[in-house]
């Protein structure tokens, strides 16, 4: 009997975001598919490194559960290199803007 290989895949979630560029006073919106908070930070970090997201900008991230966080791009690399992060830790290093709607 052949054993099934178990995969430890996490379900993808989708967060929406808007980026405010303080220098050109422009705003960009979109959505991010991610599996966990380090993955979300990796996406933000990659966006900053590729100049898709302006450096020193502010990103407002609306999580699927209704929480909205203000995310400073200067913390993206810390989260990315740290490796693991819970929702509470993510919110702890961002600035909670809006609680989830009850």
Task: Please give the model's pTM, rounded to 2 decimal places.
Answer: 0.60
- 47-82: per-residue pLDDT in tens? 777 877 777 777 888 888 888 887 776 665 555 555
What whole-number distance in Å separates Cα of residue 97 and Cα of residue 60?
8
Neighbouring CB atoms inside 10 A of 73's CB total: 18
State yes or no: pLDDT of 85 exceeds 70.
no
What whole-number distance in Å separates Cα of residue 94 and Cα of residue 60?
10
> Which has the closest alpha carbon to 37: 98, 96, 2, 80?
80
Structure tokens at 8: 């430890």
Instruction: List beta partners, residue 31.
Output: 16
């Amino acid at each position: 009997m052949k054993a099934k290989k178990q995969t430890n895949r996490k379900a993808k979630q989708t967060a929406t975001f808007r980026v405010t560029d303080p220098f050109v006073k422009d705003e960009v919106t979109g959505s991010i598919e991610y599996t966990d908070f380090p993955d979300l930070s990796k996406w933000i970090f990659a966006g900053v490194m590729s100049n898709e997201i302006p450096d020193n900008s502010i990103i407002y991230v609306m999580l699927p559960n209704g929480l909205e966080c203000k995310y400073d791009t200067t913390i993206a690399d810390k989260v990315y290199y740290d490796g693991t992060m819970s929702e509470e830790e993510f919110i702890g290093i961002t600035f909670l803007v809006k609680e989830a709607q009850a």
